[in-house]
Structure 1
């Protein structure tokens, strides 16, 4: 197989890392608290594992071998003494003296031979070290029985004329119970992990408060400045958020004031135009039947402009001053439907259960629903309202049987892109204001084709 000389090794390593990174992301916790605790837990476990490995892998092995070699050396010395003492009475004296001085129990059985050899392996590395030390230091047949009693070990060694039995206390061979160190390591790890968890919870709580305040501010529920808490970086983020919040509120207030002033000033020339059109004579040199259609079109244009300015003024008045409060959405839909019928529209029905509440700006949301209903009345005639409550959001749908909107203009309004210049109505400034109000509530708007044949507007509000 030939390799490609033009292949990029760095790109290959990046691809391999991405393939490894995807399953790791699915295994790792998603919350900051979980990942922070994992960062604390992994080094803690690695440190304890290294400590256990070093302690039991090196230190305990060395101590165990030295203890075994010490006991074996004493046994070897006693063996040499009794082998050089032919008299049985003198051997007994030597064994008694050795037992009192070494804390080992020595007995000699003349003429006996070992029925078995080796060790029965009860304590693992400790008995292996003892058996190995006997084999290497004494060079005799032996039998080590660890099940003789809980406190002693029976070591039988074959001599030339009998068997010498040595009762060795286990404390002379075993450094101590292993579980004490394991319990200490585990308990200290758990204690350190809990302490780290308490500290991390305080830091994460400050970040959560900052995120919650940002979410409420994005939905138009201004809770005021938040108190900086937590680490220095989190405090700096909270201070920066408070400054940003003040700047945004100041910008919105200035924009609202300018918009209200411009819209109010535009009403004066429009009023003069309406009076001028009303005072144009329709008799004399100009025949009334030729001028009447033009005057009607001019009056209609002036009314459209006045309606646009009224929408601007309403939007400007309600954007900065109104506070969000809990509102019964079904009751508001019923009120808008009644007002639409009174204005000459045809409402096919209002669907949805009663008692569905959301925290909204009442006048702004009512303006949204009235604007959409007015659009449906002017361009279609028949409309239908529906309300549906989900787990995290509430959906309000307004459908009509009008001409609808092209797909590109629906996408432009839904995706916050600039729309083509046009008058208020389907896809014009009215829907743009509706979109801005819904986004200010932290919701979204989607424009689709309606089963009735016209436009379907789906408003999604957070609970």
Structure 2
């Protein structure tokens, strides 16, 4: 139990970090580049401020404090004393503007403008000069005023700000920030160029998965990305060659089988009527139907290119044809707005016709519903029939599998309807799911990408 109590916070922290991390490869790679740079710059900045800047500032302030201590040591504090010479010497050689005010008192401390500088300067003045001091860096721009309590008066000393600061601080900060920005810009541009071939490969794979052609795709980028792109092109060519060979072979089979079937039908038409003739005609019709469904399943969507059409209008057309057909099961469609998609229209129609026909065959009422999101469209065909047990739903997609063995092929089909429908859905990058219907039977949910 103790281990679980310690593990849960780490699990929650891991989940939170995953949510904050970007999902794209470019974003994650950018973090890998930016994070070390920011970390190193932060560490260098801390070391610079804590060590270099304060050390240099302390040494400069020590020199200024030494000059002021010299002036204080040479200052004559008698009422009638003339300190003009020492004041002139301090201004000419030390860049110090000095004025002694007998009887004055130290002013109240003001606001701090340069925390590090004033702190270091105060420390050095206290250590070297050894007098109470008030520092004012805000009253006069680019100057620092210092007031020292000499007991009988106040010594006012003004020093230029550049006298106690160094330009190497700004220069070092400029190079640190400037180089960081420059290197990050170059890294981002280079990284974007490296990620772009991966994005193009992903788009080509998605287009091929949806049945769209991507002939303009060419390998580019790093060696590993080029190898992946070349492997994808080779795989696509093998799949297209396999489909083309399958279609050509089945076209020959279709031609070879249709001729003897046609001769059989002609001979049956010339035979006298009877039970044998009717049974034989039924067998020939069954054989012809099996061949047509098998060819439709094997041929798939070869030759049809994706085009734009209104999927809601297609559903209405399928429902109208189903209600006007031989089956007595009514088909109802839920109201939906027009929705333009880019798919193989005839293939999608064949898929939906198979789903609707399968539902009509086993139910008394069928409902078709269309729903859409930013990535998918979902078409649900629901019925109030007996449904399919959950353990057998995947078997229903296998070719030539009829779950109800008591049905004849003329009534229950040859077991290719759902197989053809799933073949169409997956060739578009989607799928079909069999679920329990809201009206008590089976729901076939067709999901297609948009």
Contact 2:323/2:330 (CA < 8 Å) preserved in 1? no
Query: Which moved further from structure 2: 188-197 or 65-74?
Result: 188-197
Equivalent residue for 2:91?
99
Would you say 1:41 and 2:34 are equivalent positions?
A: yes
Would you say 1:365 and 2:348 are equivalent positions?
A: yes
Equivalent residue for 2:368?
386
Change (3 A) 1:169 1:311: same
CA drift at 1:310: 0.8
Gaps of at least 5 residues in structure 2 are none
Query: 373, 389, 399: which is aligned to 1:406?
Result: 389
Alignment of 1:110-125 (within 5 A): 112=103, 114-115=105-106, 121-125=112-116
Query: 72, 75, 83: which is aligned to 1:79?
Result: 72
Change (3 A) 1:209 1:216: same
CA drift at 1:296: 5.7
Q: If the length of structure 2 is used for normalisation, what is the TM-score?
A: 0.79
Contact 1:117/1:142 (CA < 8 Å) preserved in 2? no
Distance in 2 between the 1:373 and 1:87 partners? 116
Query: Which moved further from structure 2: 232-241 or 368-377?
Result: 368-377
Contact 2:356/2:381 (CA < 8 Å) preserved in 1? yes
Distance in 2 between the 1:58 and 1:100 partners? 32
Would you say 1:436 and 2:423 are equivalent positions?
A: yes
Equivalent residue for 1:69?
62
Equivalent residue for 2:191?
200
Equivalent residue for 1:52?
45
Measured against aligned partners, the alpha-carbon deviations of 1:383-437 in whole angstroms (never above 9, x if no partner) come to 54635241233333444565543333224346x7995786764792221122112
Contact 1:151/1:170 (CA < 8 Å) preserved in 2? yes
CA drift at 1:118: 7.7
Contact 1:333/1:350 (CA < 8 Å) preserved in 2? no
Distance in 1 between the 2:347 and 2:151 partners? 110
Equivalent residue for 1:131?
122
CA drift at 1:72: 1.4
Contact 1:385/1:396 (CA < 8 Å) preserved in 2? no
Distance in 1 between the 2:293 and 2:400 partners? 19
Equivalent residue for 1:229?
220
Change (3 A) 1:433 1:145: closer
Distance in 2 between the 1:308 and 1:128 partners? 96
Equivalent residue for 1:285?
none
Distance in 2 between the 1:72 and 1:454 partners? 95
Contact 1:104/1:167 (CA < 8 Å) preserved in 2? yes
Change (3 A) 1:316 1:363: farther
The count of aligned residue pairs is: 443
CA drift at 1:79: 2.9
Gaps of at least 5 residues in structure 1 are 283-287
CA drift at 1:17: 5.6
**RMSD across aligned positions (CA):** 4.2
Distance in 1 between the 2:345 and 2:99 partners? 102
Alignment of 1:109-258 (within 5 A): 109=101, 112=103, 114-115=105-106, 121-159=112-150, 163-175=154-166, 189-190=180-181, 192-224=183-215, 226-258=217-249
Residue 321 of structure 1 aligns to a residue whose secondary structure is coil
Change (3 A) 1:12 1:210: farther
Change (3 A) 1:181 1:418: farther
Would you say 1:324 and 2:306 are equivalent positions?
A: yes
Change (3 A) 1:15 1:259: farther
Query: Which moved further from structure 2: 428-437 or 113-122?
Result: 113-122
